[in-house]
Amino acid sequence: MGVVNVTPDSFSDGGRWATPEAAIAHGRELLVAGADILDVGGESTRPGATRPLVEDELARVVPVIEALAAEGATVSVDTMRSEVALAAVRAGAVIVNDVSGGLADPEMAAAVASTDAAYVAMHWRAHSDTMQQHASYDGPGGVVAAVRDELAERVDAILAAGVPRDRIVVDPGLGFAKTADHNWALLRGLAPIAELGFPVLVGASRKSFLGSLLAGPDGVARGVEEREHASSALHVLLAQHGVWGLRTHDVRAAHDALRALARWNQTPVTPVTPTATGVS
């Protein structure tokens, strides 16, 4: 899933594709690089971000979705607003990627149910300006159990609203009301989330927990666009664990890494015979 941010304040690209023309061109580039899905968003969800007006969000995403869908792309809309979701589906989107899992807009699940679109429900606790105040997971099982249980509640609500089970995807929400340690625990503990019985989408690409992991001796986090090697390593590990989708900014790097993994998996294993090396 290639990211197409039609925003002036994205954490990953700082507005590089903020105009419809630039975003459409970028979407085409991601398809050539190997993207299966283009995820078009008009609202930044970086920590501390403020929400755009609904009119601004619509103006950002609808022309981009119309153009890319008309060219045959499989398009997802990244939105928390039912009004935007419905307009995006009319424009050609076939997936609604709601980072709030329906909590930001009580009408979202019913809106998606009224269409044929699939619905990605992410784990979420609060909007970007306050979400890190909710990064507490002190119950039994810690963050993994909490995310699993809270996603299960969202899925129940989405099913009750009429979205068919086979059109639901879940996302553990790395970075959303999560510390770096929470993110790593979730990455290592995806099995209980997969056991909910839905495909799993993961968005680890370029996030701040990778920047802090790769910080230099001075403690300064690695820059956003210098986190790609670590992102690709995670993509391979996640693919090995059977996740349904990988949301990524650098599609070529992710696609290359997955091609190498696929070729590795096609090659018969040759046992390695230990040889004397003199190392004890």
pLDDT at 9: 61
Sheet architecture: strand order including 168-171: 2-5, 38-41, 75-78, 95-98, 118-122, 168-171
Nearest to 172 by CA among 195, 139, 200, 207: 200
Q: Is 0.85 surpassed by the pTM of this model?
A: yes
Question: For a pLDDT cut of 70, what percent of the chain falls above it?
Answer: 94
Report CA dihedral (218, 221, 252, 14) to the nearest 10 degrees.
-130
Alpha-carbon Rg for the chain in angstroms = 19
pLDDT at 157: 98
CA separation for the pair 212, 14 (Å, rounded)? 19
pLDDT in tens, 175-202: 999 999 999 999 999 999 999 999 999 9
CA angle 217, 223, 224 (to 5 degrees): 145
Catalytic residues: 207, 247
pLDDT at 280: 44
- The 3 state secondary structure assigned to the chain is CEEEECCCCCCCCCCCCCCHHHHHHHHHHHHHHCCCCEEEECCCCCCCCCCCCHHHHHHHHHHHHHHHHHCCCCEEEECCCHHHHHHHHHHCCCEEEECCCCCCCCCHHHHHHCCCCEEEEECCCCCCCCHHHHCCCCCCCHHHHHHHHHHHHHHHHHHHCCCCHHHEEEECCCCCCCCHHHHHHHHHCCHHHHCCCCCEEECCCCCHHHHHHCCCCCCCCCCHHHCHHHHHHHHHHHHHCCCCEECECCHHHHHHHHHHHHHHHHCCCCCCCCCCCCCC
Question: For a pLDDT cut of 90, what percent of the chain falls above it?
Answer: 82
If you average pLDDT over residues 237-253, what whole number do you get? 95
- Say yes or no to pLDDT of 12 above 50: yes
pLDDT at 166: 98
CA separation for the pair 96, 111 (Å, rounded)? 10
Tell me the sheet residues that pair with 168: 119
CA separation for the pair 152, 186 (Å, rounded)? 15
pLDDT in tens, 109-161: 999 999 999 999 999 998 888 888 888 999 999 999 999 999 999 999 999 99
pLDDT at 277: 45
